[in-house]
Amino acid sequence: QVQLVESGGGLVQAGGSLRLSCAASGRTFSRAAMGWFRQAPGKEREFVAAINWSGESTYYADSVKGRFTISRDNAKTTVYLQMNSLKPEDTAIYYCAASYSSTYYYGSSYAHWGQGTQVTVSS
């Protein structure tokens, strides 16, 4: 069982940066792939980024590639999402999630979810 708590969201101007953190509890964290998803008002949840259990492989949605970086620290059982060059369209609730699957792009592959943190980017 893994419990996830996101933090680091807030209000930022376009072009600014935020770093989201997701603190995990549970013995299986180091074996889980971790992902970030987001959901904007009136829109479906969408994949943002994922990282495999070792941190050696990362995956990004085209919309954030080159601007966002996912990383993890297994010793601290924490995963991060560094978000640079933020745009108003990045405004959403951001969720971290844990997966024991080998597919990372679909929410259905993730077994555990955090409660989310709000990111608002003003123009």
Mean pLDDT, the chain, as a whole number?
95
User: pLDDT value at position 28?
Assistant: 84
Counts for the chain of helices (H) and strands (E), in that order: 0, 11
pLDDT tens digit at each of 123 positions of the chain? 789 999 999 999 999 999 999 999 987 888 899 999 999 999 999 999 999 999 999 999 999 999 999 999 999 999 999 999 999 999 999 999 999 988 899 999 999 999 999 999 999
Structure tokens at 94: 């951001």
The DSSP-derived string for 37-51 is EEE-TTS--EEEEEE
Phi first, then psi, for residue 81 (nearest 5°) are -135, 105
CA dihedral for 105, 106, 112, 117, sign (positive or negative): positive
Q: What is d(CA 21, CA 25) in angstroms, rounded to the nearest whole number?
A: 13
